[in-house]
């Protein structure tokens, strides 16, 4: 069975997240979601998440499409990837990491066989947490 791994904050689930999970699930049988730690989300996004890491994890775990959800790690991401054993890593269209950088990091960690795929946006200006939080969403 093929495992797919995705990463994200998932701070306020919305249709864009649902689409992200659906796209990712097409690449395998088991969808594993790594939910970002509060401190990592704040570092990457420049502000604290609205919901705690435990709340976000529970919300993601409650989704039928998600087979497993785990909390992310502070550092040494590739060791965490190794433990989860995915065959594919799917990146969101707006995630900061480039496909080439992730591939290079995986290769350096001895995980070069993992496929890395950049997914397409759902509706870029309609279903993005940043837009929802800023109330600049066109419903």
Residues labelled as active-site residues? 45, 47
Number of Cβ within a 10 Å radius of residue 69: 19
Number of Cβ within a 10 Å radius of residue 27: 19
- Which residues, listed in sequence order, are joined to residue 68 by a DSSP beta bridge? 32
What is the CA 86 to chain-centroid distance, rounded?
A: 13
- In 3-state terms, the chain is what percent helix, strand and coil (to 5)? 35, 15, 45
């Amino acid at each position: 069975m093929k495992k797919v791994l995705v990463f994200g904050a998932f701070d306020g689930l919305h249709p864009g997240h649902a689409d992200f999970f659906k796209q990712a699930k097409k690449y395998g049988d088991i969808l594993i979601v790594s939910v970002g730690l509060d401190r990592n989300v704040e570092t990457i996004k420049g502000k604290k998440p609205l919901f705690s890491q435990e709340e976000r994890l529970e919300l993601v775990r409650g989704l039928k499409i998600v087979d497993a959800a785990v909390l992310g790690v502070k550092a040494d991401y590739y060791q965490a990837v190794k433990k989860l054993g995915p065959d594919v890593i799917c990146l969101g269209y707006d995630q900061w990491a480039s496909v080439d950088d992730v591939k290079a990091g995986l290769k350096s960690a001895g995980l070069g066989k993992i496929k890395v795929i950049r997914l397409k946006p759902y509706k870029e200006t309609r279903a993005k947490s940043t837009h929802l939080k800023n109330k600049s969403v066109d419903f």
